Structure 1
Amino acid sequence: MTTFEGLGLDPRLVQATDELGFKQPTPIQEQAIPVLLSGTKDLVGLAQTGTGKTAAFGLPLLQLVDVGQRYPQALVVCPTRELCLQIVNEMELFKKFMPGMHVIAVYGGTSIGLQIRDLRRGVQIVVATPGRLIDLIERKAINLDQISYVVLDEADEMLNMGFQDDIEFILQNTPKRDATWLFSATMPPEIRRVSKKYMQSPMEITVGKMNTANKNIDHQYYVTAAHHRYETLKRIIDFNPGIYGIIFTRTKADAQSIAEKLTREGYDIDALHGDLTQQQRDKVMGEFREKTLQLLIATDVAARGIDVKEITHVINYELPDDVEVYTHRSGRTGRAGSTGIALSIVHSREIGKLRQIERIVQAPFHKMEIPSGKDVCRKQFFSFMEKLLQADISHGDYETYVPMLAEKFAEISKEEVLKRVAAMEFDRFLKYYENAEDLNVRERSVVGRDREARGGEKREYGRAEGRTKGREYHNNGGDYARLFVNLGTKDGFYKASFLQFILDMSDLRKEVLGRIDMKEMNSWIEVDKRAAQQMIRAIDGKNYKGRRIRMNDANSR
């Protein structure tokens, strides 16, 4: 069995890993650490989130930098503030027995003055988000001349978020680096181009198959009518009393709307989306980590970089357009050897898309029955009884009150007491689910529509789904305008992130969209005619990364 000591690590780092309970390296650590300890080899590491990538590059960095020199020697660049802090927190644990070693995080949304002060005190390793790092470079508050090692963590996420130019700027400003290490869950063409341009014959390590799902995750799906989606979500939550999870939506409007509805109905939930200030975002994430919140509802963009342990469920309120996005979502659960559930709420027209995701991630998706009202009540009863039986009565002077309780309940049978306890605890559930309807779409309907989605019609699936949803939502026969916009893949978008961007900008719902045709420099979007002007007004003339966005009716050009 391979050990951390056997990988060639400094005894002080081995001591730290032992204290943390890390006995055996993960596959990415076992393969990457010996290569990186040479200090002069470029490397591309392909591995899903949650496979131990931070230790794979963090331990070698701590060993390679010179603790006696108080200037930046290593730079880790990552997409979000949350990931930035997570990396620094882990490296603080690893360097416990290395006095004089300093690792700091620099990121947006907080005082740049305090970060400049920390840099001036002396530091060996800087972990940064691209925007804040470039701000520091332009202010001449950080000197990258002596940087020997550059790590790009979650490189695919940074490119999806539009940071390609920033990454290239950072690499151009670290000309004396001995090695560049790039870690990513996927390998899109843009990353290939970056590695060819800035890396010297990099060694490539792949852990697991690309886009394949974590084997510790059970993939489930529930089929319901589109107008029952919210009710199905509620029922799934109620059927899992111990749930601690993330619900993913396509748009920030959906995230906020669903969070507000569930909060009004007594659920411990909050939303995470792009409209929150950094202070609000920190508050929500703090409550979720402390489990004050049982559920977090988030858009894909807002959830990037979140790493919270012990998440039991990831719920796709709607399927994402991209398989890569599904893999990222589901990877939030089933981490560090634990098991988790990734479940999706779909309507019958999405079965074809579900089967496509199933084939690509190479994991079976299990069809589940939406629980009946009686099933939900029964599950809640069992959960309550378990809590009752496991309640700790060792702390407290309960004996003092037992005679009084015995006297009070002397004329009431045990069965009557239990009924009254159940009534107090479950009155809301029992009333709500007493005559609950069946939310399942039955198999005959699913099979017929599945066959149609997979081959009965020859039109492209995304167009069919978009138009059908448009009819369902507006009942206007799928009457679309075709809009032109001067944004494309060169701006760092892929289909799912572009979809999210235009919907967030316009505050429209996915149902108004038809086909999206993306090119390198421009894109064309089919939009329900009634929503077209709202989208143009919301987006045309706005700025994206310093460039003016132009959107207009494609037929009027």
Structure 2
Amino acid sequence: MKSFEALGLSKGLVESVQQIGFEIPTPIQEKAIPILLKGNRDFVGLAQTGTGKTAAFGLPLLELIDADSRNTQALVLAPTRELGLQITSDLENFTEKFKPFNIVAVYGGSSISEQIRKVKRGAQIIVATPGRLIDLIDRKAINLSTIQYVVLDEADEMLNMGFKEDLDKILSFTPDTKSTWLFSATMPREVKSIMKNYMSDPYELTVGEQNTGNVNIEHHYVMVQEKDKYLALKRILDDNPEIFGLIFCRTRIDTQRIAEMLMKDGYNADALHGDLTQQQRDRVMLKFRNRSLQILVATDVAARGIDVEDISHVIHMNMPDEMEFYTHRSGRTARAGKKGISIAMISRRELGRVKQLEKTLKSPFKRMMVPTGPQVCQKQLIALMHKVREVKVNEEEIGEFLPAVYEELKDLTKQELIKRFASIEFNRFLDYYRNAPDLNLDDRKASDSDGDRYVTGSRFFINLGKMDGLDAGSMLSFIEDVSGVNRKSIGKMELKGAYSFFEVEKDKADLLLSEFKGGVEFKGRQVRVEMTERRNSGPRKESSSRDFKRGRTSGSTFKGSKTTEQKRRRY
């Protein structure tokens, strides 16, 4: 395996990456850097999340940029502000012993005037999220005509999040002579479309097989009833005292609810979702990076771009609706060649989806049993004893207090002292888990009594889809909160580009239609809901429309209306 120096990088760049702690290039870095250093060809790199793609494009980019010119020469586009800030930080670290560059991060949720000032001061490299960059373009505050290199990082995620039109607009302002480098974990149809429309004979590099998972991730699943998921989650956390993990939920509401329940129950947890201000998000992420926060509960969108070292576990409270989402979720662990564990919490009817994932990722999924009460108690007790063994004793400062301690405990034997000390912590878990039931479902076929029934009923058409920035999770929240129909009554969902289909229990159909009457816009489009026959038999006459004013994206919460006065409310 080659060293960074052997890849053709300058001495300063090599010293910078070595100072960070990189000694040997990852496979994507080893193969991509020599090609990108030539700077004369479009490039497509496919590699799983956590394999070092930022250095793979960042190091050659810094090598090619003219640090003496004030012109903006490189544009890096990222799907989220977290990933954009992480890329900016990495690029700045790479230049520590190299050349001085002005690298500017442009993203929503922060002062646009301050970002404009930094750009106009002369930014050789701009790292941007599409939405904020469009704002700067519309204000004529940024000049992309001098761009020589465009990097699309996590391209599949940008398209999943509905940024295709933004990408089209942004790329139209860049010169035809630029080189475009595209990095992605998966290769959906939309990414191939970008290659066709904006790239000329790109060099294609795939590290590992397409659609395969990170081999360093152990994939597990637990099979429990929906109502038992939170109890099962607590047992998994208690069974892993040293966990440093991410918990994924579909919606912002679920994310906040799970985080608040965990905090109330004494866990060191917090939430990350789109309803937080940028200041709140930054504070949560700082705590997580510093490990003063042990568990982060997040939505898919909010967690994209999180690059935190040594995440031990990723737990999925719900199976994601797209295979790519599972890839990106689980890819938050086992980064930079380290090991990690991904645990999906499923019902019986979702077992088929696990088997499909297993085939697609070419990685085995092992069933993991939810720990019993005695197993958790034993694990906690051993963890406590380990802390006792490893604790650092300050002999000098504690010495003067020890005689009083010895006097207080003089009538206890060694065995009695150990038992009493262990019981201080152990009794709490013992009291909680005494007579705790088995939460694991058996392997028999699913039935309605499981509480995880697969909903079939009335089928509806809605004129919203992926082009509106919605995924199945946010569409589910939209339908639930506008109509008041509980998500357990909402069944199979098919998301298309400009429209979608979903099923609702028959006795909830009239309620759904009545609640979708009104006038609110969603991204300027009037929402139309119609009951349809099965498959392609066309819509029925019964229909309802409701304009939805706010154009929120994945994980959004949508407040429905229950009274005439509330229905007049503009969102």
Residue 461 of structure 1: aligned partner = none
Cα distance change of structure 1 residues 549 and 405 upon mapping to structure 2, 3 Å threshold: same
State the AA in 1 paired with 2:65.
V
Quote the residue 2:503 is aligned against. Answer: 526
Residues 74, 150 of structure 2: 8 Å contact kept:
yes
CA shift in 2, pair 1:321/1:478, >3 Å: closer
* Residue 3 of structure 1, CA deviation: 1.6
Query: How far apart in 2 are the matches of 1:502 and 1:164?
Result: 24
Q: 1:184 to 1:323 in 2, by over 3 A?
A: same
Question: Structure 2 matches for 1:8-407, cutoff 5 A?
Answer: 8-394=8-394, 396-407=396-407
Given that 2:227 and 2:451 are in contact with CA atoms closer than 8 Å, whether structure 1 keeps it comes out as: no
Q: Tell me, yes or no, if structure 1 residue 472 matches structure 2 residue 444.
A: no
Report deviation, 1:498. Answer: 4.7
Task: Give the conservation status (yes or no) of the 8 Å contact 1:103–1:127.
Answer: yes
2:558 corresponds in structure 1 to none
- Equivalent position SS for 2:491: strand
TM-score (norm 2): 0.88
- Return the alpha-carbon distance in structure 2 between the equivalents of residues 274 and 502 of structure 1: 18
Cα distance change of structure 1 residues 197 and 60 upon mapping to structure 2, 3 Å threshold:
same
Q: Distance in 2 between matches of 1:10 and 1:532?
A: 68
1:482 aligns with 2:459: yes
Aligned in 2, Cα 1:277/1:542: closer, same or farther, shift over 3 Å? farther
Q: How big is each residue's C-alpha offset from its partner over 1:84-136, in whole Å with a ceiling of 9 and x where there is no partner?
A: 00001000111112343111101000101111111122121000000111111
Structure-2 residue corresponding to 1:410: 410
Aligned length: 534
CA contact (8 A) 2:493 2:501 kept: yes
Secondary structure of 1:397's counterpart equals helix
Kept in 1, the 8 Å contact 2:225–2:451? The answer is no
Compute the displacement of 1:39 (Å). 1.2
Change (3 A) 1:536 1:295: farther
Q: For the Cα contact (< 8 Å) 1:216–1:339, is it kept in 2? A: yes
Alignment deviations for residues 396-434 of structure 1 (CA, whole Å, 9 cap, x no partner): 422212222111111122222223222322232110112
Do 1:106 and 1:132's aligned partners in 2 also have CA atoms closer than 8 Å? yes
Q: Give 1:286 deviation, angstroms.
A: 1.9
Inter-partner Cα distance in structure 2 for 1:547 and 1:521: 11
Equivalent position amino acid for 1:472 in 2: G
CA contact (8 A) 2:80 2:302 kept: no
1:146 Cα deviation from its structure 2 partner = 0.6
What per-residue deviation string (whole Å, max 9, x for no partner) do you get for residues 166-223 of structure 1? Answer: 0011110002542011111111111111111111111111111122111111111222
**Could you tell which deviates more after superposition, 255-264 or 203-212?**
255-264
CA-CA distance at 1:479 after TM superposition: 6.7
Flag the 1:95–1:478 CA change in 2: closer, same or farther, 3 A.
Answer: closer
Give the residue type in structure 2 aligned to 1:526: E
Contact 1:251 1:509 in 2 (8 A): no
**How far apart, CA to CA, are the structure 2 residues paired with 1:266 and 1:535?**
42
Q: Are residues 52 and 155 of structure 1, via their aligned partners in 2, closer, same or farther at CA, if it must alter by over 3 Å?
A: same
Query: RMSD over aligned Cα, in angstroms?
Result: 2.4
Change (3 A) 1:202 1:541: farther
Determine the C-alpha separation between the residues in 1 that align with 2:480 and 2:184: 27
Please state how far the C-alpha of 1:491 moved relative to its aligned partner.
Answer: 4.1
Q: Which runs of 5+ in 1 are unaligned?
A: 453-464
Alpha-carbon distance change, 507 to 317 in structure 1, aligned in 2, over 3 angstroms: farther
CA distance in structure 2 between the aligned counterparts of 1:532 and 1:261, rounded to whole angstroms: 34
Extract unaligned runs of 5+ from structure 2.
Answer: 533-539, 544-571
| Farther off after superposition, 487-496 or 432-441 | 487-496
Q: After the TM superposition, which of the residue ranges 478-487 and 264-273 deviates more from structure 2? A: 478-487
- Offset, 1:546: 4.0
Output one character per residue of 1:121-155: Cα deviation in whole Å (capped at 9) or x when no partner: 21210000001111111111111111111111101
Q: How far 1:246 moved relative to its partner?
A: 0.8
Q: State the SS of the aligned residue for 1:301.
A: helix
The one-letter code sitting in structure 2 at the alignment partner of 1:72 is: T
Q: Would you say the 8 A contact 1:219–1:363 is kept in 2?
A: yes
Amino acid at match of 2:461: F
1:514 to 491, 499, 513: 491
Give the counterpart of 1:550 among 512, 528, 539.
528
Give the SS at the match of 2:349. helix
- The structure whose residues are more often helix, as a share, is 1
- The amino acid of 1:160's aligned partner reads N
Counterparts of 1:171 and 1:539, CA distance in 2: 40
- CA distances 1:490-531 after superposition (whole Å, capped 9, x unpaired): 445565665566557768654222222333332121123437
State the alpha-carbon separation in 2 of the partners of residues 176 and 371 from structure 1. 58
Counterparts of 1:532 and 1:428, CA distance in 2: 49
SS of 1:142 mapped into structure 2? coil
**1:274 Cα deviation after fit:** 2.5
Kept in 1: contact 2:485–2:511 (CA 8 A):
no
| SS at 2:62 equivalent | helix
Cα 1:512–1:284 shift into 2, 3 Å: farther
- The alpha carbon displacement at 1:265 in A equals 1.1
Per the alignment, in what secondary structure is the counterpart of residue 308 of structure 1?
coil
CA distance in 2, matches of 1:286, 1:153: 23
Q: Work out whether residues 150 and 177 of structure 1, in 8 Å CA contact, stay in contact via their aligned partners in 2.
A: no
